[in-house]
Structure 1
Amino acid sequence: MGFVEEHEKWLSRHKRRRTGERLDRLERGHGHGEKLFAERVWWPLFGHFNHLHPEYEVSDWRGRPYFVDYVWKPGQVKFAIEIKGYGPHVQNTDRTRYRQELNRETYLQIAGYRVVAVPYDDLGSAPELTISLLKALLLSSMLTNADNEGGKHSKMELEILRLAARSDGIIRPVDLVNGLAADPKTIKRHITKLCEKGRLTPVLSANGSRIRKYEYIHNMLDNYLF
């Protein structure tokens, strides 16, 4: 699936889990800038939304609820990502609100989050720069978790993912049986596990009656695991 379908599925999952103010904040707060970041930066970088939480509620130093645009928690690390527009954040004449915003960012770091500020204007004019900077920032965390990520997959599963990635992202079970010289039942069992882990997605035939192939879901860590 492409960005539009995956973004909608991801957003719907989060909405189903929320009620009250948390749901209202997600519906109101996930606006144009947040969607632009998801489409032009996060999707090209990762190809999925695993571990990414929109309008994530945290408490500030006063114990009051505060919603961060995005929080990414792939493991032991936590990143708080804020989309910063020029008007609200630079020309803000409410000095009390401006001080509180700065204090919240400091408190987030005390609470164990690494705070990332993304310029809204760059999302439209220079998303490649944001991708490059974010990739360099997140690289150490991704490498730290690479062994754990690799441990989630058996040797056979990694071989299946490797072949799928090299087959333009689409693979048939028969291709895996021939390419890995494996028993069809073994291949089917591992494909099922990879679908459960979100690494493969079934692709229905033209009439929608059978599953003849699977789509590979890219993970940026694959660059280090394969």
Structure 2
Amino acid sequence: MTYEEAHRSFIQYHLDKRSGERRGRLERGHGHVESKFLCNVWWPLCGDFRNLHPEYEVLDWRGRSYFADFAWFSGTVKLIIEIKGFASHVRDMDRQKYCHELNRETFLHAMGYPVISFAYDDVEKNHPEICMTMLKMVMSRYQARRAPITRIQLAEKEIIRLAVQQARLIRPKDVERHFGIDHKTAVNLLKKLCSKGGLIPLYRGNRQRVVGYELAHDFLNFLD
């Protein structure tokens, strides 16, 4: 099935399940921006639209209906996905709308709806591949992996996350404390990540002593 065929079927399926304003909102609200996200990001990444709901209705902190661009369900997780254009979300937004948007996203997160947002410019043409990488990273935290993953791979992912969280050089003693392992094992894990391109060693003096490790440019590849 082509993307166009799958997209038509996807929208028609949800139209058939809705009535009243929920149906009307899907007819009016699912437009060019949302279609571009599905075509350039979601479809290349997932290959289907299972568990995805367009123009999904939730209530904000005032008890008013709000329609998110998409909601993705995975078990007990309901992830809200928004595609934000510069004009509607930045240039033309007044202070009250800005406050309402921030309050709504915070409220939804508190109610169990994590919200992630993508810039329309990235989705449409600038960096759809980055959007795919980020979305894959988020979704992977709620999905079982299709392929087996080794303990070493899990440890490598966790070390990269630890380096991101610390926002500074990661050292063997950081890894030792985090995993409860000995110094030699920690050093070996860090060296393996360097050899795979996830970390870069930083030296003191004439490259005689490693003082720590920083994230490499392609560290995101270890988190998807």
TM-score, normalised to structure 1, is 0.62
Aligned residue number for residue 21 of structure 1: 21
Aligned residue number for residue 133 of structure 1: 134
CA displacement 1:25-65 (0-9 Å, x = unmatched): 10111111100000110001110000000000000111110
Q: Which runs of 5+ in 1 are unaligned?
A: 148-226
Equivalent residues in 2 for 1:126-165, closer than 5 Å: 126-143=127-144
CA distance in 2, matches of 1:134, 1:82: 12
Q: Which runs of at least 4 in structure 1 moved beyond 2 Å after TM superposition?
A: none
In 2, are the aligned partners of 1:92 and 1:98 still within 8 Å (CA)? no
CA distance in 1, matches of 2:14, 2:26: 9
State the secondary structure of the residue aligned to 2:41.
helix
Larger radius of gyration: 2
CA distance in 2, matches of 1:64, 1:78: 19
CA distance in 2, matches of 1:103, 1:119: 19
Aligned residue number for residue 36 of structure 1: 36
Residue type of the alignment partner of 1:38: L
In 2, are the aligned partners of 1:85 and 1:119 still within 8 Å (CA)? yes
State the secondary structure of the residue aligned to 1:108.
helix
Equivalent residues in 2 for 1:137-216, closer than 5 Å: 137-143=138-144
How much does 1:23 deviate?
0.9
Q: Alpha carbons of 1:63 and 1:9: their partners in 2 closer, same or farther (altered >3 Å)?
A: same
Aligned residue number for residue 55 of structure 2: 55
Residue type of the alignment partner of 1:24: G
| Relative contact order higher in (CA < 8 Å, ≥ 6 apart) | 1
CA displacement 1:75-113 (0-9 Å, x = unmatched): 121110000111111113422122111111111101101
State the secondary structure of the residue aligned to 2:71.
strand
Aligned residue number for residue 165 of structure 1: none
Residue type of the alignment partner of 1:34: E
CA distance in 1, matches of 2:142, 2:27: 30
CA distance in 1, matches of 2:127, 2:59: 32
State the secondary structure of the residue aligned to 2:76.
coil
State the secondary structure of the residue aligned to 1:50.
coil
CA distance in 2, matches of 1:93, 1:7: 31
CA distance in 2, matches of 1:103, 1:29: 22
Q: Which runs of 5+ in 2 are unaligned?
A: 148-224
Q: Alpha carbons of 1:93 and 1:40: their partners in 2 closer, same or farther (altered >3 Å)?
A: closer
- Alpha-carbon RMSD: 1.5
CA distance in 2, matches of 1:83, 1:66: 15
State the secondary structure of the residue aligned to 1:54.
strand
TM-score, normalised to structure 2, is 0.63
In 2, are the aligned partners of 1:57 and 1:67 still within 8 Å (CA)? yes
